[in-house]
Structure 1
Amino acid sequence: MSASNDTPAGRVRSTQVLSTHEQIVRALAQDILTGRLAPGEKLPLEADLLDRFGVSRTALREGLKTLAAKGFLSVKTRVGTRVTEPVHWNYFDKEVLAWQVSGGMDANFRRQLAEVRRALEPAAAALAADRRTVEDLAAMRTAVQAMRVENGSEYAFAQADLSLHLVIGAASKNPMMRSLASVIETALLEVFTLSPPTRDLRLHRDTVDAHERIVDLIEARDGAGAAAAMISVIDAGFGRVEAERSGSKA
């Protein structure tokens, strides 16, 4: 990223002043997400945690309750507090996704996100083709135009890209689908900035054209075509990011 206004939302949040409760929850969540506290492992003794965070016993216990509610911890009498297996972690919690993003999106997480997008967004596009309104189409065209004119700021392009995907989710007229899209928007915005097409004029044009094709098919009420076009966009973006990540490690 170049300038401060190109900082993804997940990173922006990490620079904000956190409350004592948020500091405890976020620090322990990062320990769990990064494997410093492994599944099945007991948390450090309460006295050690109190010393680490310099907080009251009440504040610490409230923090642990929050983590337990998000699926990270299991609290049992005579057994103690242990880290749960990842299958229990609530990834459809905005805070959990924000923690994952701020800690770095590894290859496994990027693949999982792409799989969720492949399951969700083509279905949203197909529904949008059947249910979209004139206002929905206007919002989609506005987002596409914002993508087309933005060839400088990587973050601004990612925001326009995200806006289009969220508008399509809303145009599905399925509030549950729109809510799921909203939940993962922090992760989407981050992944959209990993390998932005604004770095190459031809790639930028082709990427915008591919997104515009989704809108064209939605306007034409071609649900199957819109779904297929959405899959192509998701796969192209995922492939571009993974190629760049692989190249940076070579």
Structure 2
Amino acid sequence: MTSSRSSAVDYMMSISHSISAGDNIVHRLGREIVDGRHAPGDRLPDEATMLKRYGVSRTALREAYSKLTAKGMIIARPKVGTSVRPSSDWNMLDADVLTWHLQTRPLAGVAKDLYALRRMLEPGAAAMAATARTEAELQKIEDAYKQMQATSTYEAELVEADLRFHVAILNATHNHFIGAFSSLIHAAMISTFEVSWRGAEVSVFKQERLVQHGDVLEAIRAQDADLARLRMERLLDDSIEDASEVLGQHVKGSR
């Protein structure tokens, strides 16, 4: 579990730009908010206290506040100060916010919520892809699947190929809103893909999961929307069970 969290965080940080003083405070304060040191509704310390605590300039602090405000995490009110907003207001599609959750929260909780999102999104996306995909898009899905087969004994390569498989299906819907989730899937799902494949290894279902991915591919190839939806549902449900093997709790409770 630790390696899953570490590689997921490493990946997320690798896609970030160079960190300025303001960005550094964004990451420090963002993590503190997510881990509860500054709880929703709490008012942040006054500016002088924050400047001393973090050892930055007023400009850097204000830059950090501006970015956290844009992420929906804090709000400034005249004569009141800056307060932490309810977690329901946080932009969970933001790569930084997601990274802070992976760094500070139990992976099981993050996995549960991500699987719930995938369970709502991906079966419908597979159905749409079955009728909307082009031959070039079908080839991308097939190439990713073949890479999964070829790298099944190498966890990192298998996870990357699996990510490409699911992202290719999302992109093949030709729906810009669904396609936009591909960046979330690629950046955020790496940890849960790892634990699900590790669970499949433990429960001796790894080969079966590979076959299930192939079944999804064949339904999309046949342009059978209903079958593609059903096969993706089964794949996700079984993957949730696999993740539970590693995380030690019933992630499937998110269904």
TM-score (normalizing by structure 1): 0.89
Q: Residue deviations 1:1-45, cap 9 Å, x none?
A: 899xx9635324548863212210011111111111111011122
Distance 1:80 1:38 in 2: 15
1:220 aligns with: 222
1:128-143 aligned within 5 A: 128-143=129-144
8 Å CA contact 1:144–1:211 kept in 2: the answer is yes
8 Å CA contact 1:92–1:184 kept in 2: the answer is no
Distance 2:2 2:44 in 1: 39
Name the CA shift for 1:227/1:105 in 2 (closer, same or farther; >3 Å): farther
1:19 and 2:20 are equivalent in the alignment: yes
1:79-90 aligned within 5 A: 79-90=80-91
Letter in 1 for 2:74: L
2:252 aligns with: none
Secondary structure of the structure 1 residue equivalent to 2:248: helix
1:10 aligns with: 9
Deviation at 1:144, TM superposition (A): 0.7
Name the CA shift for 1:204/1:82 in 2 (closer, same or farther; >3 Å): same
Distance 1:26 1:143 in 2: 34
Name the CA shift for 1:200/1:110 in 2 (closer, same or farther; >3 Å): closer
Secondary structure of the structure 2 residue equivalent to 1:97: helix
1:242 aligns with: 244
Distance 1:19 1:199 in 2: 42
Q: Residue deviations 1:163-202, cap 9 Å, x none?
A: 0000001111111111123223211112111242474695
8 Å CA contact 1:98–1:186 kept in 2: the answer is no
Name the CA shift for 1:143/1:133 in 2 (closer, same or farther; >3 Å): same
Distance 2:162 2:203 in 1: 16
Secondary structure of the structure 1 residue equivalent to 2:44: coil
8 Å CA contact 2:12–2:187 kept in 1: the answer is no
Query: Larger deviation: 107-116 or 80-89?
Result: 107-116
2:231 aligns with: 229
Name the CA shift for 1:105/1:145 in 2 (closer, same or farther; >3 Å): farther
TM-score (normalizing by structure 2): 0.88
8 Å CA contact 1:8–1:193 kept in 2: the answer is no
8 Å CA contact 2:8–2:188 kept in 1: the answer is no
Deviation at 1:153, TM superposition (A): 2.4
2:61 aligns with: 60
Letter in 2 for 1:96: V
Q: Which runs of 5+ in 1 are unaligned?
A: none
Superposed CA RMSD in Å reads 2.4
Deviation at 1:233, TM superposition (A): 1.4
1:1-250 aligned within 5 A: 8-14=7-13, 18-197=19-198, 199=201, 202-246=204-248
Percentage of matched positions with identical amino acids: 32
Distance 1:183 1:245 in 2: 22
Deviation at 1:139, TM superposition (A): 1.0
8 Å CA contact 1:25–1:67 kept in 2: the answer is yes
Distance 2:24 2:241 in 1: 35
Letter in 2 for 1:8: S
Number of residue pairs the alignment of both structures matches: 245
Deviation at 1:240, TM superposition (A): 1.4
Distance 2:66 2:95 in 1: 17
8 Å CA contact 1:11–1:102 kept in 2: the answer is no
8 Å CA contact 2:74–2:84 kept in 1: the answer is yes
